[in-house]
Structure 1
Amino acid sequence: MTTTHDKNTVTIYEYPTCSTCRSAVKWLENEGWTVNKHHIKEHPPTVEVLTDLIARSGLDIKKWFNTSGDVYKELQLKDKLPHLSQEEKIKLLSSHGMLIKRPVVTDGERVTVGFKPEQYAENWSRSV
């Protein structure tokens, strides 16, 4: 299942050279989070982890796909995705980390996908 966390740690699935991911890590560290980094291309989340993360996120699985990425375009997923089952989509995401919209951040309860400062302020702000 999802990595267990203490109350000061978040896990981020990121691509280290991605400027958006670097911005998210910097934002989280500035808020006082300990950031447990996972290289999304080298070690994509497993089907089990993704199933849990997607459920916790409350987002439609379509929001989990990096639709602007090369792998998405090469596999022509715009046309194929509507015909795949939820299980097939999750399996696809776990087999190609670059298909996953990044960064994915979780504390074991909450999950966010992508990086928007206002979304992070709402979900990950440490100030009360």
Structure 2
Amino acid sequence: MGLVYYGYPKCGTCRKAKKWLETNNLDFQEVNIAEAPPSVEELGKMIAASDLELKKFFNVSGTKYRELNLKDKLLTMTDEEKISLLSSDGMLIKRPIVFGDGKVTVGFKEEEFDKVWTN
């Protein structure tokens, strides 16, 4: 399976991550996370491949997150409900996400990309 880059074109961090992938000559499929968020199944695979808590997949600084008052609501939701919510709206997901070959990165930190995607 190749790399899939989930990003949002208006997001500066996403543009930096995409440029890093291009500069490092990595082939990837680009998906606009707002138009085509990952499915429940895809998110499940990403979460399983990461060593991150599920809450790290939420875009906690996003408008939608605040509008829906998710800081409080997430405390009482099951993991299945959280994953379903994430898959329903790409703007709730922390971005960019790069996924492939059993690995995943959430957000963009150049040193993490160097470690995960160039080995």
Normalising by structure 1, we get a TM-score of: 0.89
- The aligned counterpart of 1:78 is 71
Q: Which residue of 1 aligns with 2:43?
A: 50
Report the identity percentage: 51
Range 83-92 or range 52-61, more displaced: 52-61
One-letter amino acid matched to 1:118:
E
How many residues align? The count is: 119
How far, CA to CA, are the matches of 2:101 and 2:8 in structure 1? Answer: 20
* Aligned residue number for residue 20 of structure 1: 13
AA matched with 1:64: F
Q: Pick from 99, 102, 109 the counterpart of residue 92 of structure 2.
A: 99
Q: 1:34: how far off?
A: 1.2
Q: Does 1:65 align with 2:58?
A: yes
Backbone CA RMSD of aligned residues: 1.0
3-state DSSP class of the match of 1:66? coil
- TM-score (normalizing by structure 2): 0.96
In the TM superposition, structure 1's runs of 4+ consecutive aligned residues that sit over 2 Å from their partners are none
Q: Distance in 2 between matches of 1:58 and 1:51?
A: 13
- Segments of structure 2 that go 5 or more residues without pairing to the other structure are none
Q: Deviations over 1:38-61 (max 9, x none)?
A: 010110011111111111112100
* SS of residue in 1 equivalent to 2:35: coil
